[in-house]
């Protein structure tokens, strides 16, 4: 009996794979961050920044962070590619939204793209990590300043955090991703996605 329940418990809880969407406008530094994550959490050497080109399709990174299996989906942020983002919303456990904190002229574009993401019903309740990227540059604004500028209205019920990071030197990345893992493990959204996946399994059985 015990082994039956243990087997069920393992099936339900230990196999969770978290899907994390990495979004943000073009040149925010999403792919550079993903490559940095690979070097921080695996023995793969991520691509160096000079070998990274603008993303047109999808980059996938599979990593283990604090014993959790994460699948990162890094999408292109050029205006003509942003309509693809929503195809991934339904299956995403959380969103990392990357902003070039050293380029205030692009804050408005970043803000409106993020507001559109947050309005989408397929992302209801998904935890949000906003990264004020490129902190290695002296002109970069702090996470607090960026948060004040964005002044997001649609955050009421959402768990979120702003963090200052650099995809070049790795500053702040581990902290923020580990925060996200902890939040995803406890989030209502994860419960809902898990129940949906279990239901699909039963239907197809």
Q: Which stretch binds Mg ion (CB under 5 A): 1-9, 47-55, 112-120, 158-166?
A: 47-55
Tokens at 2, concatenated: 């015990």
61 binds, among ligand GTP, Mg ion, none (CB under 5 to 8 A by kind): none
# residues near Mg ion by CB under 5 A: 3
According to the annotation, is 169 in a ligand binding site?
no
66 binds, among ligand GTP, Mg ion, none (CB under 5 to 8 A by kind): none
According to the annotation, is 59 in a ligand binding site?
no
User: CA 101, 102, 103 angle in degrees (round to 5)?
Assistant: 95
Q: Which of 78, 112, 142, 175 is catalytic?
A: 78
In DSSP notation, 63-109 reads: EEETTEEEEEEEE--SGGGGGGGGGGTTT-SEEEEEEETT-GGGHHH
Class of residue 6 by CB neighbours under 10 A (exposed 0-12, middle 13-18, buried 19+): exposed
Hey, how many other C-beta atoms are within 10 angstroms of the C-beta on 199?
10
| CA–CA separation, 168 and 83 (whole Å) | 28
Nearer to Mg ion (CB atom), residue 30 or residue 93: 30
Give me the least distance between CB of 65 and ligand GTP, in Å please: 19
According to the annotation, is 84 in a ligand binding site?
no
Nearer to ligand GTP (CB atom), residue 71 or residue 197: 71
124 binds, among ligand GTP, Mg ion, none (CB under 5 to 8 A by kind): none
Nearer to ligand GTP (CB atom), residue 76 or residue 127: 76
> Is residue 32 a contact point for Mg ion (CB under 5 A)?
no
Q: Does 124 qualify as catalytic in the annotation?
A: no
> Is residue 31 a contact point for Mg ion (CB under 5 A)?
yes
Positions touching ligand GTP (CB under 6 A) are 24, 26-32, 49, 52, 54-55, 76-78, 133-134, 136-137, 166-168
> What b/e readout covers 56-93, taking b as 16+ CB neighbours within 10 angstroms?
eeebebebebeebebbbbbbbbeeeebeebeebbeebb
Give me the least distance between CB of 65 and Mg ion, in Å please: 20
Residues of this chain that interact with Mg ion (CB under 5 A) are 30-31, 55
Active site residues: 78
Binding residue ranges for GTP? 24-31, 77, 133-136
């Amino acid at each position: 009996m015990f082994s039956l329940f243990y087997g069920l418990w393992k099936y339900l809880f230990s196999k969770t794979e978290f899907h994390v969407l990495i979004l943000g406008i073009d040149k925010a530094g999403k792919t550079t961050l993903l490559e940095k994550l690979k070097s921080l959490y695996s023995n793969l050497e991520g691509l160096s920044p000079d070998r990274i080109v603008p993303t047109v399709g999808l980059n996938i990174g599979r990593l283990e962070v604090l014993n959790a299996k994460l699948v990162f989906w890094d999408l292109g942020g050029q205006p003509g590619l942003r309509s693809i983002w929503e195809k991934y919303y339904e299956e995403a456990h959380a969103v990392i939204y990357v902003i070039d904190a050293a380029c205030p002229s692009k804050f408005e574009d970043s803000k409106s793209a993020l507001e559109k993401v947050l309005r989408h019903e397929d992302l209801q309740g998904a935890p949000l990590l906003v990264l004020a990227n490129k902190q290695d540059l002296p002109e970069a604004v702090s996470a607090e300043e960026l948060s004040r500028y964005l002044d997001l209205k649609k955050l009421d019920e959402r768990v979120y955090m702003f963090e200052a990071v650099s995809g070049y030197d790795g500053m702040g990345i581990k902290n923020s991703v580990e925060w996200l893992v902890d939040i995803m493990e406890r989030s209502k959204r994860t419960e809902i996605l898990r129940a949906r996946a279990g239901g699909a399994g039963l239907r197809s059985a």
